[in-house]
């Protein structure tokens, strides 16, 4: 098996822990630079806290976690695309605007899906249990 070499110049086939570090660094950068990522992450944490309070069936946990992950993942892709496009073409251009708007639209669609899942969870457990 080929060993990774720092002189190889490629970002591919790096050791797992190094790739994990890149991933965590990307998440940390998005947290630091993007208010929308921070607000989405806070809403995801609030959803998990609500799940802990409500204690629904496991399928609801899976649905809410999946939706939270999709929204946060879409936000990360949106951030990556925006930063790449701004670096490659800093001037305003109609095609760049379309690409950025479409990426933001994807985040919005996933967010509406997450909201729908949360509303379905509320409807399935209405009236809410008193604690």
Domain enclosing residue 53, as ranges: 35-124
Per residue in 99-123, pLDDT tens?
Answer: 999 999 999 999 999 999 999 999 9
For residue 58, give the H/E element and its range: helix 58-88
- Give the Cβ contact number of residue 15 at 10 Å: 10
Would the pLDDT of 129 be above 90?
A: no
Question: What contacts 85, CB < 8 A, 6 or more positions away?
Answer: 96, 99, 100
Number of domains in the chain: 1
Any domain includes 86: yes
Any domain includes 91: yes
Any domain includes 49: yes
CB 78 within 8 A of CB 107: yes
- Give the Cβ contact number of residue 96 at 10 Å: 17
pTM for this entry: 0.86
Any domain includes 94: yes
Residue 51 buriedness (CB in 10 A; 0-12 / 13-18 / 19+):
middle
Any domain includes 24: no
Any domain includes 5: no
Per residue in 39-94, pLDDT tens?
Answer: 999 999 999 999 999 999 999 999 999 999 999 999 999 999 999 999 999 999 99
Any domain includes 105: yes
Which tokens hold the place of 63? 């649905």
CB 36 within 8 A of CB 85: no
Any domain includes 82: yes
Here the CATH number for the domain that contains residue 49 is 1.10.287.3610
What does the alpha-carbon distance between residue 116 and residue 51 come to, in Å, rounded to a whole number? 15
């Amino acid at each position: 098996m080929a060993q990774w070499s720092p002189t190889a110049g490629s970002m591919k086939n790096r050791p797992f822990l190094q790739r994990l570090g890149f991933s965590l660094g990307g998440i940390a950068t998005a947290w630091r630079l993007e208010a929308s990522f921070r607000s989405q992450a806070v809403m995801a944490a609030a959803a998990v806290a609500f799940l802990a309070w409500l204690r629904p069936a496991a399928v609801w946990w899976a649905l809410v976690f999946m939706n939270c992950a999709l929204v946060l993942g879409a936000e990360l892709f949106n951030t990556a695309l925006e930063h790449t496009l701004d670096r490659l073409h800093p001037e305003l251009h109609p095609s760049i605007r379309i690409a950025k708007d479409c990426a933001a639209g994807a985040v919005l669609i996933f967010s509406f899906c997450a909201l729908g899942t949360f509303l379905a969870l509320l409807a399935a457990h209405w009236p809410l249990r008193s604690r």
